[in-house]
Amino acid sequence: MWKKRLAIAEITVIVLLALTIGIVYFRKQKTQEGEASAAASAAVSAESTSEREDTEMEEQKTAPSVSAGSTAVSAVAETPAAASSAAALSGSAENPEEADDGSGSAVSAVSQSSEGEEMPAAEADGTMGAEEQKAAEDPYADKPDIDINSWEFILANYENNIEEYVPETAEIEGIELDARIIDAMTAFVADCRAAGNSVVLASGYRDYYTQQYLFQLECTMYDEETAATIVARPGTSEHQTGLAADITDDYYEYKTSDLQYTAMYQWMAAHCQEYGFIVRFPEGKEDITRIIYEPWHFRYVGVEAATYIMEHDLTLEEFIELYK
């Protein structure tokens, strides 16, 4: 009787042991499956991340955040898979959307949040091209559709010598200008006078040889370098284009920066673009134009370009640069 009881107890223990072993074994199997799927999904994410790094590294600075995402995923894959993270990873691997484009959700989440700014979906996917992205960032993407090689944009400055260029000129109030801008200048001056101002056309077209004479005269008093800061070298004066005029006031005929306080200049600076003219040497742009602020010097570039240049506070140099 006692022996029989012992036998039953033994059998019970064996059965229980067997059950326990079975359960432990089964659980272990499951965990290994989890690990395997975690590793697989991590591999997929890592692969897609490295592809994206290749394409994105050169054109944008989001690379560090993408790498951070990749590191996080790899770290998980290398540690013994805890049941919860394994489940999370298999969960993301099962997501059909991510399976299609092969990008892990962890990676996209990191790349969106770490920068602290919203990225368009296309950009995050790496499908936005370098040019599209540049256009999105270019504040001058709305520049007018003009032919920068047209005559209105002839550039004569310290680094662009127009040599012995001679335009066809016509006379207006004692000065000569390129014949093609006579109508625009006539209207500009007439409307300024109609607004109650007095206008003097002080200087217009100046030919190469006149400029050469002025420059050489200056060279008799200074060395050539110094002379060039006072009088433009022949071929580099904008007056030689025939597209510029010095405009002063009847009551203030001096070409000094104080001209800016006259009602005449204030009207002209506010309306010049409506006639196709710009303030060619504005204040604060001396490092670009290499010419002091000249509130008397107006240059013709056509209404479209003039409007854009004046609205965006550009110089002709900067405007032309937009088309290169």
Which residues are tagged catalytic? 294
Distances (CA, A) of 143 to 188, 242, 308, 318, 323: 24, 25, 7, 12, 9
* Terminal Cα-to-Cα distance of the chain (whole angstroms): 107
Q: State yes or no: residue 297 binds Zn ion (CB under 5 A).
A: yes
* Helices and strands in the chain: count of H runs, count of E runs: 14, 6
Instruction: State which residue, 255 or 271, has the beta carbon closest to Zn ion.
Output: 255
Residue with smaller CB distance to Zn ion, 124 or 175: 175
- Buried b / exposed e over 7-16, threshold 16 CB at 10 Å, is eeeeeeeeee
- Residue at shortest CB range from Zn ion: 297
Q: Is 246 in the site for Zn ion (CB under 5 A)?
A: yes
Report in angstroms how near the CB of residue 296 gets to Zn ion at its nearest.
Answer: 7
Nearest alpha carbon to residue 140 among 316, 314, 291: 314
56 versus 246: smaller Cβ distance to Zn ion: 246
The one-letter code for the residue type at 68 is A
Classify 65 as helix, strand or coil: helix
In angstroms, give the least distance from the CB of 288 to Zn ion: 17
Q: Smallest gap, in angstroms, from Cβ of residue 203 to Zn ion?
A: 6
Interacting span for Zn ion (CB under 5 A) from 7-15, 85-93, 159-167, 244-252: 244-252
Binding window for Zn ion (CB under 5 A); candidates: 55-63, 175-183, 205-213, 238-246? 238-246
Nearest Cα to Cα of residue 192 among 314, 256, 277: 277
Considering CB under 5 A, how many residues would be counted as binding Zn ion?
2
The one segment of 83-91, 100-108, 194-202, 289-297 that binds Zn ion by CB under 5 A: 289-297
